[in-house]
Structure 1
Amino acid sequence: MLTVADVVGEPSLNLTVVTGPDQLMREVRSAHVCELTSPADWLRGGELLMTVGLLLPMRLADCRAYMSECAAAGVAALALGLGHGLPYHDCPEPLMRAAQESGVALLTVPDETPFIAVTKWVFETIAREESRELHTALEINRALTAVATSSAPLAALLGAWSQASDAACIVCDAAGQLVDATPGTAPGSVAAAMAAVGTARASGMAWSVVDGFEIHTVGSRIPLAHIALSAEMDLRSRAASSVLVSLIAVDIERRNLSGQVERQRRSQVFAQLLRPGIKRERAHQMLARVGLGPTPLQVATVAGEDAERLAFRLQAGLGDALVLVRGDTVEIAHADLDMLVETLRAHAEGLPCGIGAPVAAEALSVSAMQARSLLPVSARLGRIVTAGESETVSLLVSLGSPEVVRGFADAVLAPLDALDPRERLELLRTLDQWLRVNGAWDPAAARLSLHRNTVRNRIERIAALTGRRLDDGDERMELWLALKSRAAMS
């Protein structure tokens, strides 16, 4: 990086620092001559701005306005030319004062140093530095390429990059989970990179800059991984970063291709296990072929527009699962229900999803049938639905119109709702527990910690109030459905 101090330190230029000796470490990106009193439109920041002050009135107010505009435009320093035939032989006091107030270093250029000499030296020096940086970048590229064929390419690439650059590189899988990072990367930087990857995943863009990280997505149609690079890079790191990203992408693509055969084999095994009537011994043999034991599995079915991409995400989230694409649905079998639900919520949020009961390998077709039948229910409720949900009646009544369900419950239970709140609560609680034990007096009394006669008296009162004969199965079912309907709507 070329600084103002470097320019001042060049003996052939003979520049003098007038004000701002503490501002000499600013970067000089170019040298520019301008005699305009309002030069901002011609500046891009980092310029060593040279002028003879031909048009600038040397009044303090005008100098302040001029220097404020230069500071706002990001000039590295201002250089005033002095000498024979020029407006000034010495630096004017108003300009020095304005420069001190603006915080911009003010230099003077002697008569024997033409502006073109300063410009030529600055650009030649920048060109030499850029050449050195690009040469270093080529060396980095050679080092990266040399380790790309090692037994652990990703770790070797990240290690080589950390030795050559201060820019952190974090690699995440298709689900946004950490795969690896450059050695020594701070945990906070890793967390920030993963958050940036999450934002980029949601946008669906192949390349983006998010919160100080460049996010590169690997994979043309189906994202395989995401590479997060610190966006703040010097020239050599910037020049070498494209090679780093390409080599990491090649390694990820290679690993994906090598794993594709295994994924296809597991899918074929899953398809055979889903055939009804498969023998127990045969099913266990097939599970063993894909590294799974006789543990019961549950099948989940998810409906989505891009089933192939969805299947890849689910497989990445549950490496030991069996995954199969059937048209626009994905079926996935796994032994751990909690992990399965967590993965579905992470990668299939908002999609209809049903999960069958856990079964032995030979009965996977039953679990899959349950899962498929629950897809319409899941679409209606807007959540994952499992065959093992205990409140099946509540699940069914929740599918109806809320107004109709609530109206039915209120119509049946209205005589009880009209009672004193304390009595209503006692009767409803007694009715609920009595129905749960199928009208058995002693078990209901034990659940309620009451005498059986008390339970009987309360049930008779409920029958009288509601006009239901509780020894009739249909009328008892109406009360049960009313209680469940109200619970489902609460």
Structure 2
Amino acid sequence: MPPTLASLVRHPGLKLSVLAGEDRLETPVRWAHVSELADPVPYMDGGELLLITAMQIEADDPEEMSRYVRRLVGAGVVGLGFALGVNYAEVPPALATAAKEEGLPLLGVPRRTPFIAISKAVSAAIAADQYRAVTAGFEAQRELTRAAIGAEGPAALLARLAAHVDGWAALYDVSGAVVAAAPDWAARRAARLTADVERLRSRPGPASIVVGGGRGPAGATGAEPAEDTAVADRVELQSLGTGRRTRGVLAVGTGAPLGTAERYAVHSAVALLTLTTERSRALQEAEQRLGAAVLRMLLAGEPDHARAVAGRLYGGLLDAPFRMLVAEVPSGGTAQQAHAAPSGADGAPAEIPTDATTTAAGEAEAADPLGTLIDTMEAAAARIGESVLVVPDGERLIVLAPDGGAAVAACAEHAQAVEARRGTKARPRDRAAVAALRGDELVIGLSAPAGPIAAAAAYRQAEQALSVARRRGRMLVEHERMAAGSVLPLLADDAVRAFADGMLRALHEHDATGRGDLVASLRAWLSRHGQWDAAAADLGVHRHTLRYRMRRVEEILGRSLDDPDVRMELWLALKATAPGTST
């Protein structure tokens, strides 16, 4: 504890007496300062015990003393020491009255006690308090280190940290989810800080923010605080990780600002948790190399060898249906960029209208989309003990995840959130154009459920879905939904549209002269599968008129409508140019 006025009064060598402000003697003293100025306020920093002999002030003037004491209180002076038997035998009544009225502690200093003795006592007490804080900090570091390398890992470390700071502590993973907290009730408190954690994660590390002001108790003694006081604590959020990318967040809640010893403990916890994070990353990189070998064996049709190499590393991932995911950033952002910020594209980008709201999550996704996807899927899988196989493959990322599991669900939710920020209400071809201009948007293809024997087929499905996602300007396309949906959205492609326009141009030019409606007649005839009477009825013309028009179509195009390939191409051309195709 730092020195207080009470501890100075109790000091046997100073012999100080209390003349006013008896109820405020527990106030900490930051320093003892001597000043005989009539207005020493410009030289005060707050928290001082001011020592005077009243050489330069009118100590007998009540109005002057009232103004003098009021200025001291306003400057944060915590006490006034008056030398007895120097200029005044006793404290002047005007000064004593002013001190009592303002609540400023007034101490009598006997003549045999020099001011320097008080300064030395304050200095020695401050030094002793700092030494205790450093010693306690080292002891906390040792305890936290033992906890960190123990079997319980971060959970034990958080419990020790919460005890040291007399508060609570929580750990968030890379996605911002609470993975551990101490005491147990702190998990509910930590969950209410999700927005603040997201704000911290959007900043380059290392970073920290303070939430709240410490107006209420933190409840660290083991009992959960009441709802109205739990939100009044002071919470420090510290980012974890050695690079600019945040790998986790530590939250520490207390009822008051941290002292020196508590600060040592928090810094030690940050260092230990960062080491744990970096060690996990090294193991993860080794696991990815092993995963790449397992994937190569699966794609080569050697599932038994793949199981033998994987061992128990991926749990039951290869024993149940899984999904194959292939992701890439068209501009060339690689999966290795999950650990580094990508460089910007050359040249000024084209200005693209968008209604996406800039958020912390959006900024993180834009800076490192592949890394954000990895973090999202792995964090979701880790929370339920699910195994996933993640393999960076050049400019791509390949993931094997359990069908119907948390990782696949997290990927779908992430894609929905990102597409909402991108603004997916535009037409598909407009979205594709936007993606092409930006050149840095993540696209994902997801296969249908498969087993180890069908891994190669699942990879082809994921690549096909990825190709469709790229053409449509969508972030995620699932192969199953491609097969279950209509072929018409596939026609919303510039190459298909150019082919259709070229194939039908001569017919449109003929119709523009007013010599007949060949395009509408062709559409009606094809939609009725070549049935003359039904198509003619749709058009409101005689069947002989329709026969004449179809002969003109063959003459203009130089192709026979008896050829099924020609009929198929013409029908697709008509559908590709129909107004509803691009909506």
Cα pair 1:170 1:182 within 8 Å, conserved? yes
Q: Shift in Å at residue 117 of structure 1?
A: 1.9
- Does the Cα contact within 8 Å between 1:169 and 1:228 map onto a contact in 2? yes
Alignment partners' CA distance in 2, 1:138 and 1:173:
27
Task: State the distance in 2 between where 1:358 and 1:342 align.
Answer: 18
What amino acid does structure 2 have at the position aligned with 1:356? L
Q: Is the 8 A contact 1:300 1:354 kept in 2?
A: yes
| Residue of structure 2 equivalent to 1:299 | 325
The CA deviation at 1:478 is 5.6
Q: 1:397 to 1:75 in 2, by over 3 A?
A: farther
- Which among 410, 415, 427 is matched to residue 339 of structure 1? 410
**What TM-score, normalized to structure 2?**
0.61
| DSSP-derived class of the 1:297 partner | strand
Task: Show structure 2 runs of 5+ residues with no match.
Answer: 212-234, 339-370, 423-440, 496-523, 550-566
Q: Deviations over 1:19-75 (max 9, x none)?
A: 333322221122112233443442332211222333334555554544344333322
Percent identity over the alignment? 26
One-letter code aligned to 1:55: Q
What secondary structure is seen at the aligned counterpart in 1 of 2:202? helix
Does the residue aligned with 2:49 lie in a helix, a strand or coil? Answer: strand
Q: 1:369 aligns with which of 448, 455, 463?
A: 463
Q: 1:299-343, CA deviations, whole angstroms, 9 ceiling, x for partnerless residues?
A: 241427463311652434445233222333323333234332125
> Does the 8 Å contact 1:47/1:75 carry over to 2?
yes
Compute the displacement of 1:394 (Å).
5.4
Distance 1:107 1:200, change over 3 A: same
Aligned to 2:238: 215
Q: Secondary structure at the match of 1:171?
A: strand
Partner of 1:254: 279
- 1:327-476 aligned at under 5 Å gives the runs 327-334=394-401, 335-336=403-404, 337-344=408-415, 351-360=441-450, 361=452, 362=454, 363-377=457-471, 380=473, 383-387=475-479, 388=481, 390=485, 393=488, 397=492
CA distance in 2, matches of 1:462, 1:395: 33
C-alpha distance in structure 1 between counterparts of 2:478 and 2:246, whole Å: 29
Contact 1:200 1:210 in 2 (8 A): no
After superposition, the C-alpha distances for 1:190-247 in whole angstroms (9 at most, x for unaligned) are 2356544322211022132342414041244664433334483222222343333333
Question: In structure 2, do the counterparts of structure 1 residues 120 and 297 end up closer, same or farther at CA, with 3 Å as the change threshold?
Answer: same
Distance in 2, matches of 1:485 and 1:344, equals 24
- SS in structure 1 of the partner of residue 37 of structure 2: coil
Contact kept, 8 Å, 1:3 with 1:28, in 2: the verdict is yes
How is 1:161-172 mapped onto 2 (pairs within 5 angstroms)? Answer: 161-172=161-172
The amino acid that maps onto 2:75 is A
Cα distance in structure 2, aligned partners of 1:462 and 1:15: 116
Q: Which residue of 1 aligns with 2:73?
A: 71
Q: Tell me if 1:235 matches 2:260.
A: yes
* TM-aligned CA deviation for residue 274 of structure 1: 4.8
Aligned partner of 2:90 in structure 1 is 89
Whole-Å separation in 2 of the counterparts to 1:190 and 1:283? 41
| Cα distance change on mapping 1:352 and 1:196 into 2, 3 Å | same
Cα–Cα, structure 1 residues 36 and 373, in superposed 2: closer, same or farther, change >3 Å?
Answer: farther
Question: Which 10-residue stretch deviates more, 67-76 or 345-354?
Answer: 345-354
Alignment-derived partner of residue 498 in structure 2 = none
Confirm or deny: 8 A CA contact 2:53 2:86 kept in the other structure: no
**Where do 1:160-199 residues align within 5 Å?**
160-184=160-184, 186-191=186-191, 194-199=194-199
CA distance change for structure 1 residues 251 and 288 in 2, over 3 Å: closer, same or farther? closer
User: Are the counterparts in 2 of residues 141 and 240 from structure 1 also a CA contact under 8 Å?
Assistant: yes
Give the superposition deviation at 1:251. 3.4
Which whole-Å deviations, capped at 9, do the CAs of 1:345-389 have from their partners, x for residues lacking one? 6799864223234142521222231243145346x46x5444526
TM-score (ref. length: structure 1)? 0.71
Contact map agreement 2:170 2:186 (CA 8 A) in 1: no
Query: Judging changes above 3 Å, is the alpha-carbon distance between structure 1 residues 176 and 125 closer, same or farther for their aligned structure 2 residues?
Result: same
Counterpart of 1:251, as a letter, is T
The aligned residue for residue 104 of structure 1 is 104
Q: How many residues align?
A: 426
Equivalent residue of 1:262, what SS?
A: helix
Residue identity opposite 1:263 in structure 2: Q
2:352 alignment counterpart? none
